[in-house]
Amino acid sequence: MVDIAATNLTNDPSDLRPSTITMDWEDFCDWLDWGLLAILVAVAALITLLVAVYIAIKNVQVRFGRGNNGEPPPPSIEELLVSIPDVAYRELPPGPGEEDVDDDERDRDSCAICVTPYEAGDACSVLPGCAHMFHKPCVAKWFRKKNTCPLCRATVTAGQGNGNAAENMV
């Protein structure tokens, strides 16, 4: 039951009387029910939002290779670099028809990462699987960002051996 006192019946601004509103138990229960319902809807919306954000983050991690997907964690960079054999670069002897070509005119192999030509005795790394060769410091810097071959994108893992790179392609 609502009891509203008459207010400002004369439309005179100086005749302002406070109004009183009373609420019985049934009205209070209705108000409480609607309040609790609003709180529950807000909590459910918040939980739904949090779950959606969690799923989105997991999808981004999987897309960019940071998700676990049940695979063992990748080896540490140092473990990977230690497993890759070091070789000293040496130039191949001139082939048939190249005997009279000057050393400056002959095409020289270069590191695909730094694009600097190899010099005799440079410390190089030959990646297992694909057998691509790079300067040791260049490939170490590359592996700090990715664990794939810079040329063919084959995944390089520690102790991989000399398997077929085509099986490893991303």
Q: Which domains does the chain have, with CATH numbers?
A: 1-71 (no CATH), 74-90+107-170 (3.30.40.10)
DSSP string over 114-125? T-PBP-TT-EEE
Structure tokens at 31: 């108000």
What's the pLDDT score for residue 38? 92
Phi/psi at 150 (nearest 5 deg)?
-65, -25
d(CA 133, CA 118): 10
User: Tell me: the pLDDT tens digits for 11-29?
Assistant: 655 655 666 667 788 888 8
What's the pLDDT score for residue 53? 96
d(CA 166, CA 154): 7
State which residues of the chain have pLDDT below 70: 1-21, 65-75, 92-108, 158-170
What's the pLDDT score for residue 164? 43
